Amino acid sequence: MARRALITGISGQDGSYLAELLLARGYEVHGCVRRVALHDDRARLARLAPILDRLTLHPVALESEAALHRLLRAVAPDEVYHLAAQSYVAESFAEPYATLDANVVGTLNVLNAARDCGRETRVYFAGSSEMFGNAPAPQHEGSPCLPVSPYAISKLAGYHLARMFREAHGCFVACGILFNHESPRRGPEFVTRRVARAAAEVRLGLRRKLELGDLQARRDWGYAPEYVEAMWRMLQRDEPGDFVVATGETHSVQELAERAFGHAGLDWRDHVESAAEQRRPAEVRELRGDASKARRELGFEPRVRFDELVALLVQAELDALEGRGAPAAAPPPRRAGFGDRRPGPTMPA
């Protein structure tokens, strides 16, 4: 019998790659999406277009404890991957209450529902390198957490909730502390996507300038499909644990711009400006992960490195703008109730 997985945030970058990975491994895959994604904005499902007819999607708000309990009891998943979150740091400063509500209350509801669903469900919780804040680099599982944004605080609270369910209730809850991981499916508000898109647009004569915030902020950037495989591996172990997933290399936003515009045949200095209004109220100076534990216990080994990653992002933007990389049209979804466990039909249009 196929193993059954439920992914919250399945329509995002990580959720879409994880869904593909699980389907390739023979799983029956269910996903949580907000009702608006199914009814009002079909573009939100674009990342899932090639596999949409093999998924069962459920419209549910993670802030609704009752709805999550009904869903988990009906689906009865072997594994839950809790990826859904308000994940944009800048937005968390503008909307701190909404960020805390979605990321803390939503996580508590998922953990409670998984514990009470009537079977020994394994749970993956998506932490974040932002939890470390300005702790000395490289950051590892034992590093202090000094969050400097509402998003980081919300993720740290979720991380402690996950550990509490593991230690107090005996639940199998693994925590992935993933450093920045990118792909052409990254949301347009994130700096890697903004830079890659701008480089492509300047190359094609569609714009002239790009404004960024702190050009000297340094991040550890990896490739998203490799990181979601690490998520899966965390739930295949005999015991749950916490794992940093990172490349161990750090690069500045300026280096990102240099490489991206260089791949487009341009000099970044002619087109990129640092603007005060683009800066965060508090900035994390350097995030660089020590993934020794993940290498040792999960067999994780990053293969796509920074230069290749940036070239891949810019080329994807060029292809999309020139009409070579448009996503396939999604098949029309059909309604499936919480009790429908057949892999195939999806929730409504």
Beta carbons of 148 and 282 less than 8 angstroms apart:
yes
DSSP 306-329: HHHHHHHHHHHHHHHHTTSSPPPP
Sign, CA dihedral 245-135-91-273, equals negative
Annotation says 27 is catalytic: no
Predicted local distance difference test score (pLDDT) of residue 42: 63
For residues 262 and 132, give the distance between their C-alpha atoms in angstroms, rounded to a whole number. 32
CATH of the domain at 89: 3.40.50.720
Tell me 4's DSSP state.
E
In a domain, 327, yes or no: no
In a domain, 239, yes or no: yes
Annotation says 151 is catalytic: yes
DSSP 169-234: H---EEEEEE--EE-TTS-TTSHHHHHHHHHHHHHTTS-S-EEES-TT-EE--EEHHHHHHHHHHH
Predicted local distance difference test score (pLDDT) of residue 280: 76
In a domain, 240, yes or no: yes
Question: What's the predicted TM-score (pTM) here?
Answer: 0.90
In a domain, 312, yes or no: no
In a domain, 194, yes or no: no
20, 28, 130, 201: the catalytic one is 130
Beta carbons of 232 and 21 less than 8 angstroms apart:
yes
Domain count, the chain: 1
In a domain, 82, yes or no: yes
Could you tell me which of 100, 103, 108 has the C-alpha nearest to residue 85? Answer: 103
Predicted local distance difference test score (pLDDT) of residue 327: 37
In a domain, 32, yes or no: yes
Annotation says 283 is catalytic: no
Predicted local distance difference test score (pLDDT) of residue 349: 24
Segments forming the whole domain that contains residue 46:
4-186+221-249+288-303
Predicted local distance difference test score (pLDDT) of residue 328: 36
87, 92, 128, 149: the catalytic one is 128
27, 151, 223, 227: the catalytic one is 151
Over the chain (349 residues), the average pLDDT of each successive run of 10 is 95 98 98 68 82 96 94 96 92 93 96 91 98 97 97 98 97 98 95 98 97 95 98 98 98 98 97 85 92 98 97 97 60 33 29
Burial of 60 (0-12, 13-18, 19+ CB in 10 A): buried
In a domain, 74, yes or no: yes
